[in-house]
Amino acid sequence: MCDDLYGMPLLGDKLPKLEVQTTMGMMTIPDDFEGKWFVLFSHPADFTPVCTTEFIAFQKRYQEFRALNCELVGMSVDQVYSHIKWVEWIKDNMDIEIEFPIIADTGEIADTLGLIHPGKGTNTVRAVFVVDSKGYIRIILYYPQELGRNMDEILRVVKAMQIADQEKVAMPANWPNNEIIGDHVIIPPAKDIKTAKERTQKYECFDWWLCHKKL
């Protein structure tokens, strides 16, 4: 159940405390991931084709997420028995073992996080919440039922946000393959004249407000 029903969370909010039934037992989120980043993602339903491809894609990249100190947890408005059977089907038919937990939601969590697809009954949208090691929501992505997610992009944004935090920098479009500065990162703009002048001498710059460096 949800401990704090205050409406759909936004970027920068702490993820509401959720006590949930999963395929790996009862969990309290975000408490059980303390000190780790995690990706909480919802899917419309078990035993559906696009969702099956997504879970396989997430699993194939699971070790890459874990290398970033980031866990995965799936969710849909399905009973845990359905999740267990679906995971078994994927193992038996696709030879892929899903190693991360899947939340069995009664609908309360989906309502709290704003995941119900308009006009599609109780089905959840394909939502992604990237949550940092302190339990704060850093990225929210929403996809319709008809479009499967790009897991390489989700990996990219986790890595990019971690670097942005650690290095106190910003990340350019399409990082690490930006069309202008490649894999460089952006130095935050100066807030005074003295720093603005120093920036052009210390970093590579197109102007004082657009400076970049290699990690």
Residues annotated as catalytic are 51
CA atoms within 13 Å, Cβ hemisphere of 102 = 28
CB neighbour class for 27 (10 Å; exposed up to 12, middle 13-18, buried from 19): middle
Spatial strand order of the sheet with 185-187 comes to 185-187, 210-213, 204-207
DSSP 142: E
Q: 3-state class of 108 per DSSP?
A: helix
